[in-house]
Chains A and B, each alone.
Chain A
Amino acid sequence: DAGVIQSPRHEVTEMGQEVTLRCKPISGHNSLFWYRQTMMRGLELLIYFNNNVPIDDSGMPEDRFSAKMPNASFSTLKIQPSEPRDSAVYFCASSSRGQGANEQFFGPGTRLTVL
């Protein structure tokens, strides 16, 4: 298996632009997680899905952030409009176990820079 795939790996954009990050989880995994990592705040859970349904989006910072999972093999995280403080590395992770803390498999991340 190729593991969790994220695209793009790097994104540089200007403030006010829309940004879409993409994730393909490991085939057969039923849970998908979006995280944001910064030096100041560490690794923060933004939202997670189970069987394509959003379960907890309490970590999404603002209405400018939205996430979708239209099917079991694809998810997007959108920021509209983007701001410089959104600059971070965004990770997608997937897992296949049931409730409780799971072993999560992380993608390589997307490094977002908003100018």
Chain B
Amino acid sequence: GESVGLHLPTLSVQEGDNSIINCAYSNSASDYFIWYKQESGKGPQFIIDIRSNMDKRQGQRVTVLLNKTVKHLSLQIAATQPGDSAVYFCAQGAGGFKTIFGAGTRLFVKA
């Protein structure tokens, strides 16, 4: 069945370092991928998206990379800050309006 999974459930990084969060997906027909951030006690919040006809997209301090050959998605956060501590979800379009979310990776930023 369709699934979006993550290689690492937790990631701990030093403040100021770069973070890389990885995601594997199974539905090769998806034309749209998204990263969400969820802070404790809040709902997920959109970070950045990428269409399947792209392999890289940059935002403010974040970059998403898409490798369709190996069905892999990654989120890079530059100069990680304490406020980046959260759970990060990758998600993919699953047809129509449907979105499938991955299991999530918890990012800890050490001061």
Question: Which residues of A are interface residues toward B (Cβ below 8 A)?
Answer: 4, 31, 33, 42-43, 45, 48, 50, 55-56, 91, 93, 95, 99-109
Least Cβ distance of A69 to chain B in Å?
A: 13
Interface residues on B, range: 20 to 34
Q: Are A43 and B98 in contact (CB under 8 A)?
A: no
Question: Which residues of B are interface residues toward A (Cβ below 8 A)?
Answer: 30-34, 41-46, 49, 89, 91-94, 96-104
Least Cβ distance of A42 to chain B in Å?
A: 5
The 8 closest A-B pairs by CB, nearest first: A101-B93, A106-B43, A101-B32, A43-B101, A103-B46, A101-B99, A42-B103, A106-B44
Instruction: Tally the A-B contacts, defined by beta carbons under 8 Å.
Output: 65
Give A104 to B47 CA distance when docked, in angstroms: 11
Q: Which residues of A contact B89 (CB under 8 A)?
A: 43
Q: Are A104 and B99 in contact (CB under 8 A)?
A: yes
Given contacts A45-B100, A101-B34, A109-B43, 13 further A-B contacts (CB under 8 A): A4-B43, A43-B104, A45-B101, A55-B97, A56-B97, A100-B32, A101-B30, A101-B33, A103-B46, A103-B49, A104-B46, A106-B44, A107-B43
Q: Which residues of A contact B91 (CB under 8 A)?
A: 101
Q: Are B99 and A102 in contact (CB under 8 A)?
A: yes
Q: Are A45 and B98 in contact (CB under 8 A)?
A: yes
Q: Are B99 and A45 in contact (CB under 8 A)?
A: yes
Query: What are 14 of the A-B contact pairs (CB < 8 Å)?
Result: A33-B99, A42-B101, A43-B101, A48-B97, A56-B97, A93-B43, A99-B96, A101-B34, A101-B49, A103-B34, A108-B41, A108-B42, A108-B43, A109-B42
Give A99 to B93 CA distance when docked, in angstroms: 9
Least Cβ distance of B81 to chain A in Å?
A: 22
Least Cβ distance of B47 to chain A in Å?
A: 10
Given contacts A100-B32, A101-B49, A101-B92, contact A48 B43 (CB under 8 A): no
Chain B residue nearest in CB terms to A32: B97
Q: Are B96 and A56 in contact (CB under 8 A)?
A: yes
